[in-house]
Chains A and B, each alone.
Chain A
Amino acid sequence: NAGVTQTPKFQVLKTGQSMTLQCAQDMNHEYMSWYRQDPGMGLRLIHYSVGAGITDQGEVPNGYNVSRSTTEDFPLRLLSAAPSQTSVYFCASSTPGQGNNEQFFGPGTRLTVL
């Protein structure tokens, strides 16, 4: 199993540009989430999904869109990049049930917006 994969690993954007961060998992997990990590602030939830076709907002959703057409994929779209979106982005997946529930994280995407 590859686990959770994210592409790209690094990205530099100019203010106003749009892009999509890709996330895929091969563990047949129902839940998928996007977090951003900023220095001294831990991880903050952007959007999450409990299954294909179902998404919901997290703590910091503004400026980001998501969709989940398949169990495996959960892309994060930046509509019009801003310097405040400079961060490291992590995708995670998990599955409910006794003995599970922990999240499996991808390696992250380091995004810089100029």
Chain B
Amino acid sequence: AQSVTQLDSQVPVFEEAPVELRCNYSSSVSVYLFWYVQYPNQGLQLLLKYLSGSTLVKGINGFEAEFNKSQTSFHLRKPSVHISDTAEYFCAVSGNTNAGKSTFGDGTTLTVKP
């Protein structure tokens, strides 16, 4: 069994400020970790993923995340946000044998204010 906890349901920040969206997971097997973004009235699209190797992964739109196995975390960061980053962000985990069966967190709404 696996689960994902996104620690903040809403994160308001000012434009050009740094942001961190927190994600903790639990799993009894080795995992793959993902961050997806959902803009209003759209489907989800991949921001970045951790499969193996370097624990710091870089994604699209200037986002990055660090996999911390000892703390079972996969926090998402961006050093300077833009208004266009306003969206809902989902952390997801899947076992490394079946990526089609992912477990998602409840989502974090990032609101960037001018």
Convert A11-54 into 0s and 1s, putting 1 for each residue whose CB lies closer than 8 angstroms to a CB of B. Answer: 00000000000000000001111010000111111001110000
**Once the chains bind, are A45 and B106 in contact (CB under 8 Å)?**
no
CB contacts (< 8 Å) of B104 on chain A: these are 35, 42-44
Query: Considering the complex, which residues of chain B in the window 65-107 have a beta carbon less than 8 Å from any beta carbon of chain A?
Result: 90, 92, 94, 97-107
In this assembly, does A75 line the interface, its C-beta being within 8 Å of a C-beta of chain B?
Answer: no
In this assembly, does A98 line the interface, its C-beta being within 8 Å of a C-beta of chain B?
Answer: yes
19 other A-B residue contacts (CB within 8 Å) besides A31-B98, A93-B100: A4-B43, A31-B99, A33-B100, A42-B104, A45-B101, A45-B102, A50-B98, A92-B44, A96-B98, A101-B49, A102-B46, A103-B34, A103-B102, A104-B46, A105-B36, A105-B45, A106-B43, A107-B43, A108-B43
CB contacts (< 8 Å) of B32 on chain A: these are 101
CB contacts (< 8 Å) of A48 on chain B: these are 100-101
Name B residues whose Cβ lies closer than 8 Å to a Cβ of A.
4, 9, 32, 34, 36, 42-46, 49, 51, 90, 92, 94, 97-107
| Pairs of residues from A and B, 6 with the lowest C-beta to C-beta distance, nearest first | A31-B100, A101-B99, A105-B43, A42-B104, A43-B104, A42-B106
Q: Which of A40, A43, A108 has its CB near the most chain B CB atoms (within 10 A)?
A: A43
* Bound complex: CA A100 to CA B99 (Å): 9
Min CB gap A98→B, angstroms? 7
* Bound complex: CA A32 to CA B99 (Å): 10
